[in-house]
């Protein structure tokens, strides 16, 4: 496969300002959907307007604001794969574990069809991806590295943000684990690697290594 920058669309759910991403290679009408949030109708309309066929929902972690749209997406495209880190899989079907019960709107999703672990490699919708597990915000949090993108890009969920990092006060959280994973797995990537987070604007590895006040390179 040649190196190119995939097309990326961002759909923001109003309630938690959570980013869902629709990602498709150039000149390919298949896509992946990453972390469908609380407004799946927006995602479905965007995918349909672009004449795309989604092949998989990729979930970075099982907190409610990142999985709420999985059920609607899977109803619209019944054959779609639901991919999540093995250590966060239980959150999809347990409203207490995914924190939705704590916020007063208990929700669950269909169970995953594929579990992934650290260093797994995937080829979906013409995209080659490597999975890295980085716990700390959530026990089974994973990120997805698009290996042949130019410049490289990574969908990092709630591990790291522009100038910040994910919360570590939820059940299963650990700042030490989070910081170690950021340094060993994200900061080891090229400085021009784009980081597309679960909230807020994209940033780069180089910028966060230099300026992130929580985890310096």
- The tens-digit pLDDT sequence of the chain (217 residues) is 556 789 999 999 988 899 999 999 988 899 999 999 999 999 999 999 999 999 999 999 999 999 999 999 999 999 999 999 999 999 999 999 999 998 888 999 999 999 999 999 999 999 999 999 999 999 999 999 999 899 999 999 999 999 999 999 998 899 999 999 999 999 999 999 999 999 999 999 999 999 999 998 8
Q: How far apart are CA 181 and CA 198, in angstroms?
A: 17
Contact status, residue 40 vs residue 68, Cβ threshold 8 Å: yes
Gap between the Cα atoms of 69 and 179, Å rounded: 29
Burial of 182 (0-12, 13-18, 19+ CB in 10 A): buried
196 forms beta bridges with 155
Global pTM? 0.96
Enumerate residues 6+ apart whose C-beta is below 8 A from 161: 197, 198, 199, 200, 203
Detail the DSSP E strand segments found in 6-106. 7-13, 18-24, 30-34, 53-59, 81-85
């Amino acid at each position: 496969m040649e190196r190119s920058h995939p097309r990326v669309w961002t759909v923001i759910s109003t309630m938690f300002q959570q980013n869902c991403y629709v990602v498709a290679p150039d000149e390919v009408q298949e896509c992946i959907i990453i972390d469908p949030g609380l407004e799946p109708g927006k995602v479905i309309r965007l995918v349909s307007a672009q004449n795309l066929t989604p092949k998989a929902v990729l979930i970075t972690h099982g907190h409610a604001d990142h999985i709420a749209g999985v059920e609607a997406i899977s109803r619209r495209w019944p054959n779609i794969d639901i991919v999540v880190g093995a250590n966060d899989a239980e959150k999809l079907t347990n409203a207490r574990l995914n924190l939705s019960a704590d916020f007063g709107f208990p929700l669950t999703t269909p169970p995953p069809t594929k579990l992934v672990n650290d260093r797994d490699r995937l080829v979906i919708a013409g995209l080659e991806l490597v999975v890295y597990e980085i716990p700390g915000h959530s026990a089974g949090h994973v990120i997805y590295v698009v290996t042949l993108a130019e410049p490289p890009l990574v969908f990092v969920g709630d591990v790291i943000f522009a100038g910040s990092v994910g919360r570590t006060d939820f059940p299963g959280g650990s700042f030490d684990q989070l910081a170690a994973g950021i340094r060993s797995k994200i900061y080891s990537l090229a400085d021009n690697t784009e980081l597309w987070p679960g909230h807020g604007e994209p940033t780069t590895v180089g910028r966060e290594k230099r300026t992130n006040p929580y985890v310096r390179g």
